[in-house]
Amino acid sequence: MALRQRVREIEPNHYADWRAARISDPIEKLQYLHGAMTGRKSPVRRLFWRRLSLGAFVLITVSFLLPAPPAVSDASLVSHRQMFPETARKAPPQSFADVWLVEETDKEDVFSNGLRVDNRFSTPNQPRFYQVLDRKHGMTPSGDWHSQPVGIVYHTTESAIAPFDAQRNDALKRISKVTLDGLRDNRSYNFFIDRFGRVLRIVEETSAANHAGNSIWADETSAYLNLNSSFLGVAFEAQTGTDDFEPRINAAQVHAGRILTEMLRAKYKISSQNCVTHAQVSVNPSNMRIGYHTDWARGFPFAALGLDNNYNLPPASLSDFGFEYDGLFRRAIGPDFWKGIPLAEAQMAQDAAGKGSTYYAHKAALQDRYHRLYSALKLTGALEESNDATAKTSE
């Protein structure tokens, strides 16, 4: 039969696909895709050398852009940190497993804890290169640059999921492979854990993967903005449930996540409190709300991966940069509200009281500080999140 087809030429848009997968409301998703597919711009990548040349300039610029002392004085923040309960963010003594590399080939790395990392799909990306913010000195950017990861962000791929049974083995393998190809094309994560518990290296550990977007996390001493360079990205092949917002991973994936985490923590001396989920770190600077991405907003198996329950830690996005959250985010995290959120709010209130300021004035000052730092550090290219930033500014 001869057919009269209507054919429209169209370019693949992996970012829009990835971004849309994180929008739960069908109508909003369609609105987003209509916008993204009718007038999208290609992301612009800065060259590595340009970051270097800008680094020195930024150090000078930042000193001018930092907030005026009366708004959020370093002294008051320092004194207040001492008032805040020590248990809130202080890391317990860290111990690291004794894990070593047993064998290394182009195809596979074998580690002493049983971890096998498939290297066949490994690809380079932009080298890790980032500054940290000194929490004890008013979020001053560090003078030195870093190239070692200090944490791990866990993600879900939100890709197609077939029923996990032997009858669907071929489909499961095919979907994993196609998902892997897409993630590799986009340099999405450093590691991918498929549904059979296989650990595959996507972006080399020495390179930053495009996994975290606009994001914030902090440990006792330092804060990190936009974590692509400072944190490794580990993605589980999983999909967040549409009803309960809870991703489901199987025992093989949990085991793989555990031994991978164990290896990475041992290798880079990563503290447990810097092993967090994407939902915990993701922010939207355009509306100053947390939870722009909500993968692993609940249900992350911290204990099974040998980690402390980091949902109990106060997010620095709230406590140190004045971000807020909305009803959608509350819905995503569910009834087991992160204990860290009220802690962060209490810390904010104490900070405001200690300064003789109102809660809202203090929050506004912190937000202003974030914007100044963000603008300043963006000049380095360390905050380059072209895709995410483009999406947010258009929202």
Partner 1 sequence: MPQQKQVNNGSPVGLDVGTSRIVTAHRVDDQFQYQTQLNAFVNLPYSKMTENVLAKENVPHSIQGSGIVVHGNESERFADLLSVETRRPMSRGVLNPDEPQSLTQIQKIIQSLIGPAKSKGQKLYFSVPAASPGAEDSITYHEASLRQIMTEFGYDVHSINEGLAVVYAELESSNYTGIGISCGGGLCNVCLAYLSVPVLSFSVNKGGDFIDTSAASATGDLINRIRITKEDSFHFNGYFADKTHQALSIYYEDMIQTLVASMKEAFLASRSLPKLSRPIPLVLSGGSTIPKGFRDRFEKALQASDFPIVLSEVRVASNPLESTAKGALVAALSEV
| 395 closest CA partner among 285, 317, 281 | 285
How many amino acids of this chain bind partner 1 (CB under 8 A)?
A: 39
* Sign of torsion over alpha carbons 228, 229, 230, 233: positive
Instruction: Show contacts of 184-188: CB within 8 Å, 24+ apart.
Output: 184/121, 184/123, 185/14, 186/14, 186/15, 186/18, 186/210, 187/123, 187/125, 188/18, 188/233, 188/235
Q: Is residue 110 a contact residue for partner 1 (CB under 8 A)?
A: no
DSSP 87: T
Q: Is residue 34 a contact residue for partner 1 (CB under 8 A)?
A: yes
Compute the least distance from the CB of residue 185 to partner 1, in Å. 7
Q: Is residue 43 a contact residue for partner 1 (CB under 8 A)?
A: no
Compute the least distance from the CB of residue 21 to partner 1, in Å. 6
CA–CA distance, 152 with 129 (Å, rounded to integer) = 16
Q: Which stretch binds partner 1 (CB under 8 A): 47-55, 121-129, 169-177, 336-344?
A: 169-177
Binder among 56, 83, 178, 328 for partner 1 (CB under 8 A): 178
Coil, strand or helix: which one is 143?
Answer: coil
User: What tokens appear for 230 in the block?
Assistant: 């400072």
Compute the least distance from the CB of residue 37 to partner 1, in Å. 5
Binder among 47, 83, 97, 171 for partner 1 (CB under 8 A): 171
Q: Is residue 20 a contact residue for partner 1 (CB under 8 A)?
A: yes
Q: Do residues 232 and 224 touch, judged by C-beta distance below 8 A?
A: no
Amino acid at 24: S
Binder among 73, 182, 207, 236 for partner 1 (CB under 8 A): 182
Binding mask 230-269 for partner 1 (x = CB under 8 A): ------------x---------------------------
Q: Is residue 179 a contact residue for partner 1 (CB under 8 A)?
A: yes
Q: Do residues 307 and 271 touch, judged by C-beta distance below 8 A?
A: no
| Residue number with CB closer to partner 1 (23 or 91) | 23
Q: Which stretch binds partner 1 (CB under 8 A): 167-175, 262-270, 342-350, 367-375?
A: 167-175
| 96 closest CA partner among 308, 222, 231, 264 | 264
Binding site for partner 1 (CB under 8 A): 1-14, 16-17, 20-21, 26-27, 29-31, 33-34, 36-37, 159-160, 162, 171, 174-175, 178-179, 181-182, 185, 242
